[in-house]
């Protein structure tokens, strides 16, 4: 599993939003952008697909996905993780693998 694997990116986004919620902090849109150091950088179209999955599965609120001129576009306004998103992070086997990957990467590269 790589740092740009869909499950890893989804986990990073959900975990960040959940952490912000628990701290009572407002999430920074730039932190979950395709070109943010936490997420990637990853291609914008790939990021749009990931965000679309998060929205369509009901794992996040405050994010919408629209199509303009046959291109997917993501609008982020007050993003939050939903209860379903938290449960998905904790119960989904691929999310557990993504967490394991991130923990291993952090122990190897502590600046992550």
Hey, is 71 helix, strand or coil? strand
Name every residue whose Cβ is closer than 8 Å to that of residue 31 and which is 6 or more positions away in sequence.
16, 38, 39
- The pTM of the whole model exceeds 0.85: no
At residue 112, the pLDDT reads: 45
Structure confidence by residue, pLDDT tens digits, 57-110? 999 999 998 888 888 888 889 999 999 999 988 887 666 676 676 677 665 545
Domains of the chain: 6-104 (1.10.10)
Residue 7 has a pLDDT of 85
Which residue would you say has higher pLDDT here, 1 or 7? 7
The DSSP secondary-structure symbol of 109 reads S
- Residue 56 vs residue 7, higher pLDDT: 56
Q: Cβ-count burial of 69 within 10 angstroms (0-12 exposed, 13-18 middle, 19+ buried)? A: exposed
Tell me what the pLDDT averaged over the chain comes to.
85
pLDDT of residue 80: 95
Residue 71 preceded by cis peptide, ω within 30? no
């Amino acid at each position: 599993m790589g740092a740009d694997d869909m499950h890893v990116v989804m986990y990073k986004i959900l975990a960040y939003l959940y952490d912000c919620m628990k701290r009572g902090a407002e999430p920074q849109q730039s932190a979950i952008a395709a070109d943010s150091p936490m997420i990637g950088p990853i291609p914008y179209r790939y990021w749009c697909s990931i965000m679309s999955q998060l929205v369509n599965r009901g794992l996040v609120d405050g994010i919408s996905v629209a199509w303009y001129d046959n291109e997917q576009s993501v609008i982020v306004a007050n993003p939050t993780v939903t209860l379903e998103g938290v449960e998905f992070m904790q119960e989904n086997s691929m999310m557990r693998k993504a967490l394991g990957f991130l923990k291993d990467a952090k122990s190897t590269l502590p600046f992550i």
